[in-house]
Amino acid sequence: MLISTIKKITIASSLSLLAGSAMAGYDFKVGDDAKVTFGGYLKVDARYVSGDVGYRDFWIGTGAAQEDSSSQFRIFANETRFNTKYVHGDVMGFIEMDFLGGGGNQVVSNSAKPRLRHAFIKYKDLTVGQTWTTFMNTSAIPETADFAGATVGLAFIRQGQIRYNMGNFQVSIENPESVGGDTANDNLPDFVGRYNFKADWGNVSIAALGRRLNTTTGKSETALGGSIAGRIKTFGKDDFRFQFHQGEVGRYVGIGAAQDLVGDKVESTTSYLAAYRHYWTDTLRSTVLYGRVETDINEADRSQWSVNLFQNLTPALAVGFEIGNFAIHDQDVDSSYAQLSMRYAL
């Protein structure tokens, strides 16, 4: 029987991308041991980009270098998302979609297609479905107006997987894919192992990644990489977030900055991010961050920095302003940006 009382709850931060915002939801109790939660947020962005890297609604690890500098301004709401969580005893199902799936145009309707972000089932210590890779520590993602913020320094992938938790240790097999390789012959999953250290001071995770990559010339190569990431509480409500990834991590970091294979060679990548968030008051805060990624074969070298100011007008409504810069050092181009965001947590 559906109980009409609706209450606010907080969805776990592992299901949230924006760590600085309370991701609220509406909880409907169904029967004695089941409930359905509807959540997500509405986000509107006004973004100005100027420089010799072509405009993007949010930066990733690559961009279009331009011969001449240009500037562009846009207002959009595509990051808006909604999710539903179903809990029945020991079983939990979660699905989330946003509107970054493309489609539409800016002439009349600004339509946007929904895009599947998460769809997974969790039963006790077993998780099956599409969600963040086990290689990724979501608590180490900084609060930014730019989507995810300094993606050059992040481990950032959602994909199909089977994950098992054993206390603080997690192990998973995940969907194989490679950039620059022969994906038609991928016959082994990616393997990820991760250990989480948690205490009153925050958390730190150590992760290892192992893959079998197939080259376009019929060879197979082993790729190994590692990661350390975390969120450390400092003074008051302040925190320091960091990530460091090194090895043959390829597509797992930098969102387009690195390849897995260049010809018959496995590319090695070094990627890092450091971010500090300071609370000026209980509702006013700033994050300053710097991220960079470098690769050895293609010699990609990309960086991003930003500083912002966020204010909660109500517990569910936040407004923020951010300035920053994205640089493609290997092509000697960069663009600066300014972004105003308003986010309403449902």
Per-residue pLDDT band for 150 (boundaries 50, 70, 90) equals confident
**How crowded is residue 270: how many other Cβ atoms within 10 Å of its Cβ?**
16
CA–CA separation, 24 and 15 (whole Å): 11
How far is CA 175 from each of CA 24, 147, 157, rounded to the nearest angstrom?
Answer: 30, 24, 11
The torsion defined by the Cα of 16, 96, 11 and 145, in degrees rounded to 10, comes to 30
Q: Provide the pLDDT for residue 22.
A: 40
Mean pLDDT of the chain: 91
Mean pLDDT confidence for 24-51: 91
Residue 24 has pLDDT above 80, yes or no: no
Model confidence pLDDT, tens digit, residues 186-224: 899 999 999 999 999 999 999 999 999 999 998 999 999
Model confidence pLDDT, tens digit, residues 164-184: 999 999 999 999 999 999 998
Mean pLDDT confidence for 289-303: 97
pTM above 0.75, yes or no: yes
Residue 233 β-bridge partners: 239
Residue 12 has pLDDT above 50, yes or no: no
How far is CA 113 from each of CA 75, 97, 110, 290, rounded to the nearest angstrom?
Answer: 17, 10, 10, 32
More confident residue, 72 or 17: 72
Provide, rounded to the nearest whole percent, the portion of the chain with pLDDT above 70: 93
Place of tokens 């179903």: 86
Per-residue pLDDT band for 6 (boundaries 50, 70, 90) equals very low
> Considering only 11-20, 263-272, 330-339, which range has the smallest mean pLDDT?
11-20
The torsion defined by the Cα of 284, 10, 141 and 328, in degrees rounded to 10, comes to -80
What domains can be seen in the chain, in order of their start residue? 7-345 (2.40.160.10)
Instruction: Decide: 267 and 252 in contact? Cβ < 8 Å.
Output: no
Cα 30 to its chain centre, rounded Å, is 32
Q: Provide the pLDDT for residue 1.
A: 37
List the structure tokens of 193.
Answer: 């192992």
Model confidence pLDDT, tens digit, residues 249-262: 999 999 999 999 99
> Is residue 140 helix, strand or coil?
helix
Mean pLDDT confidence for 26-51: 93
Residue 62 has pLDDT above 90, yes or no: yes
Round the CA-based radius of gyration of the chain to a whole number and report it. 20
Residue 148 CB-half CA count within 13 A? 22
> How buried is residue 343: exposed, middle or buried, by Cβ count under 10 Å (0-12/13-18/19+)?
buried
Residue 140 has pLDDT above 80, yes or no: yes
More confident residue, 125 or 32: 125
Length of the chain: 346
Mean pLDDT confidence for 238-248: 98
Q: Provide the pLDDT for residue 148.
A: 79
Q: How many Å is the maximal CA-CA distance in the chain?
A: 64
